[in-house]
Structure 1
Amino acid sequence: MATFAVLALGVMAIPGVAHAVMPVVKTVPWVAINPLIPHDTWSGKPITLKGTSDVFGVSPSFVIQYTWDFGDGSPVQTGAVIGTGTPAGTQRRHYAIDATHTYTGPVGTIFTATLTVTDTSTNESASKQYYVKIEAQSLAVEVNRAIDEGLWYLHKTQNRMVVSGADVGDWLSCPFGTCNASSGNYSNTAANVNAFLSNGHSESGDASNPYTETVQRGMRRVFQLLTSTAIPASQTNPEGTFNPDANGNGHGIYVTQGTELYQGGMFIDAIVASGTPAKVTTTGQAPAGANPGILGRSYQAIVQDMIDYYAYAQYDSLVTASLSGGGWRYSVNQFPDNSANQWAAIGVIGAERNFGAVVNALVKAANREWLIYSQAANGSFGYTSTGPVWGPYAVTPSGMVQMVMNGIGRGSVGAPSWDNAETFIRDRFGNTGGAGNAIKDYYYGLFSFTKSMLLHDSNGDGVAEPITLLQSSTAGVNPIDWYAAQVSQGDPTDGVARTLVNDQNAAGYWSGHNFDSRQYPFETAWAILMLNRTVFESGQPVAVATAVPNPAVAGQTIQLSGAGSFHQDPTKSIVMWEWDLDNNGIFEVSGVSTTVGFPAVGNYPVKLRVTDNSVPVKTAETILTIVVSTPPLEPTADAGGPYNFCENRTPWFLDGTGSTNPDEGQSEPGMPPDTIIEYAWELDGNATFNDAVGTQPDVTAFFQALGIGSYLIQLRVTDNTAASFPSSGFPNLTDTDSAQVVVRSATDPACACVSDLSARAKPGKAELRWTWKAGAHHYNVYRGTTSGGPYLKIAVVNSGTGFYLDQGPLTNNVTYYWVVREAALNEDEICQSNQASATPRTR
């Protein structure tokens, strides 16, 4: 029985009783590991701004009020913050203070919205910023927005409560109004939690992220919905006798609800997606005697016992005179069906690959024979035989997922046949007409299909060989990008991503795309997982490419950088950057940055592929289009950074010297040459660009006043096109770029910088020496002619030895000043050394 407690959800503000406690306000980050990366939208597209408060008011006075300032000069939205019930008008529940707003502006514009929560009885208030960036509308941006809106829908419909003394949350009922991602099925909660985990929102995430608590509550509830039970040490199927209990504890774990074998795979996936096999459960069934229970055990141990239960529960009889019926259904040892089988398979795949779980080989051998039995001559799979019953678009992808579990993939010889199943799906991939006739109208099957494409393994080594192009052996049927295809781009049918983006409800959820309405509440979680191309991963690598300048003129050298790439999982990182500079499918250059140029006017796609340090590795790609055109062209702003400002290393400067004007010095005859005439910095988020000016402004006082924290800034550069190219009719052209600033305490470990930099002058040059910090990847060397800076970067040292000979040439009798900055593999600078100076002189 669930017991509810108001204080577990927030602090109630009672009229007439002054608490004088500062509200805690949080806003949702787009990227869990970096809240300064803005949420994507495009001009004219509504977006939901998302925040929470730890306090709420009660009727009739509702002393807790919120205000959303959208940051674009439009009227603010205000309303009461309530604790329970269905919000009316602009009222919002305290864990779901949202506002829908439509931003307009040029690509690259960043808006800083602010959520403020005020206790009107004490005048205590607190605020938190929320960043939105206008991007060019593209499938990738639409996918990001769809995931963003979908996760918020799940967050706001989580049912928060206290069960057995623990703050938990589930989606077994709706906390208010109508919910479209909730049901009485326990696995609905597991699937929804998995959607957060697979997008990098974790139990150990930053407390300032509202989703951290959502995941914590959800995971605690997940373990409460499991039961440990005794299983035998010996099991016999037609393949032989084996012990299903791989860890020898005599117990297996199942979902404490009917049809537990349908549901268990989603629980395994969610636990595996946590990425924390050693983490210990804090909720669930207590151990008793020989029964280890759930409480106090590692996540890996829970997953292994769930796999053991599946091994024990597999059907252990023949389905023909010679073929095993190695599958699953509703409960232990029932004649299999290929609907339930996919959940066992997906659980086994994630448990083996990511948590090191063990499943007996005879379990897979029996399942392989079941697949032979249930695959039809045309490649499709049936339900309990070769017949699909309600259509082949759930059970055929299920057969493919089971083949993945068994290491059967493209090119495998004999039965069952992956190639035949893939051909069956490809030949019908463009079908329409509902769940019985079209896989893209049947999310239950589409999710299975997506899993099989992402996890495909042709040789049984447990290493995914993801499939990008769905192919067919039927003559005249061309391969298609199953994920990214778009009719609008010339493809014969839309792929998974475009289908899901188009199907999303304006409120953020998905529903109505299944054969059985009982599956509707799962669609939001499944859609989010499909869009992010994850099943049980704790986040993905994300490729981000930039070019300076862009646009450019023919023959110009263009600087490419992948430094903005990141991993959604904070325990992993990007370790390789590769560039396909001519769009021929071959990655010719490796490195965080490189250069390219193009000889003629046109649009040139450049592809970046990044690789992470997962085992096995995972990759991500992005395509950047470089525009080569003729003047007049807008400049390209480069705000530098990210900046790490340590309190013990001042002054602090920004650096916009990387900004470029592609048509620098050009003009119409007799007109002044085009150049950048203004560098304007926006530091406080009010979009006025009047906080600092110049290429390298000193911002010490500004950020010292703000104090320790993280900040998003922008640089706007403006050229003089109006004067240089008057016949164009263009005004002066501008471009903006953003950068991150982190102000750190002097005691922050990241501020343990080089402190022994020294300089020794020689005629026309100088020797620099310092102690190389253990673990440092490389150092950037900077030089200036003013004590305290600003400085210009002159060299990179990656030798492992703290030495650099600055050969300038330096002017004798002039004093120079140097600093070195430790930098990471992705070229982000970590902190600045002490300043060293020297004056070269003639001998």
Structure 2
Amino acid sequence: MMMAIVNAGSLATGQSHVVNYGNAAVNGMTLYDIAVDTKDYLVWSQGDANSCVRNGWRYWEHSGGPDNSVNQWPVLALAEAAARWQIDANPAAKTQQLGWLNYSQYVNGGFCYTYCGGPNYARTAAGVISHQWVGTPVTDARVQNAFNYLESQFWSSDNRPNFYSMYGFYKAMKLYGIPDDNFRGIDWEQAYTDWLVNSRQFYAGVNGSYFRGQTNWWNQDFDTYVALAILAPEVASLPPVAQAGPDQSVLPGTVVNFDGSASVHTDPTKALFVYRWDFNAADGLWWEAGPFPAAGEGSVGVTASNVYADTFSPEDYTVTLQVTDNGGTPANPDPAMTDSDTLNVHVETLQVPPVPVTNGPWAAIPGVPVIFDGSASFDPNPGDTIVSYEWDLNGNAVFNEVPDDGTPVTVGDWSVVTKTFPVPTSGVATLRVTDNHGASDASGAEFIAVGLAYVTNYENCWVTRTGRYTYLYGMIITVENIGDAEIQNLEMTLTGVPDNRTIAAGTSALGTLAPAAQAATACDPGAKTADIQTILNRRVPFGGIWEWKAEFDSDGTHYVTPNLPPLAP
């Protein structure tokens, strides 16, 4: 019904046509208002039973088990409402839907019905349709794996004998803009047409003809409707598809050519009308500011070219192609539709920046000067020299502040500086060096630690599986006092973990540590208890670091250090 409403006329018609047909529930509302309410109902109806089966649709609101066959229909309705009348669903609905898609895709790329009892053709096509709605690129491995399944089963009894499977595949191809004559080398539209017209069309005398699937579905009327939809030029308002071309890596000063000729319109009754190119998305898309691009910002046409200057450092530029169809014309009264695609242009530099080299990371005790030495930095370009050394020792991104960023050992020469920390602290020291061409580079995260407790070892004590992909780990963490004073009432709190983990329990009281002494957090493998517990998700790639906060007393003063280094130097 949503698709029928938004295809009943233009957006202007929907916003102006007021319903007055004897239905008290909608009388006085515009068609647009009804479509918005319908959109809200569909989004609200997503399943939310539990983490395994939520996020999709079945036959009723908040179903306890999504069904990939039904799931495609709210998706198609929401996509059509957005495309024709700009009625967008809450982005969270797409995020939730993606969770269901990831859960229900089988290892061979196919999609399951509800609980992965096994994939089939119709469910897999429905999964592809949903991926297009949530914005998964056609190049994504999940979409390509689904295509692998659809290709391998295209000629099987699971596809052509069943009109519902054919219709799902047809919609998936149209929505992703797969050419009618080339799905993995298969002329799928011709194959479907031949099968329907030559094998599944039957004549009923004076009543004309009807279509019937080899695997019967509902009745011959329904089969006939679906067969005609497959043979028709479109499902609904099929979009244009922009193809900007592959990423490019070039040298500065060379001509970079762009070609949008691979762009297509998935509706054969419509045509691409305008091609706009923007050469650098970082400064905004030029068509958002006016009808014509400023010099060097972009171009109009199927092809375009640009030259990127040398900035003395490698640069990446996002190039955007926007295509617009011939909507809004007498030949095509539907609203004009657009699509965009991007590519990355990586521009190298003919100048290599200098390389910052420090004597970090650093560790010391309060009151003792720390030497920060960047004199080993170098410039790999023959004849180039380093003309500037700059330090940021307090993390405020402002360099060479005296005394916050140290004091030069030699007046006027910031290559080597000293700084004394009066109390326990930690942070990041950054050295930035610049050469005689103005090219610069900065050192990474190099930690300063003064009189602190360091985490020196991570050890798993026990593990329990908590879900399909998740495991709960009890951990033993070893901490050392690297200062020269005793610290009391030490409490360590885990504040950050790698990307593939979450914190389940993160605080341990370790008491008193003498200088150079170590202590370990509590863990009992028999009772499955531990002060420090983390949940590992094996489907999430590893990345990120461990981060800690130390809270302790020393010499009658209470200290809180929120940014401890992940490991001892």
Q: State TM-score, norm by structure 1.
A: 0.27
Greater fraction strand: 2
Q: Which has the larger radius of gyration?
A: 2
Q: State TM-score, norm by structure 2.
A: 0.40
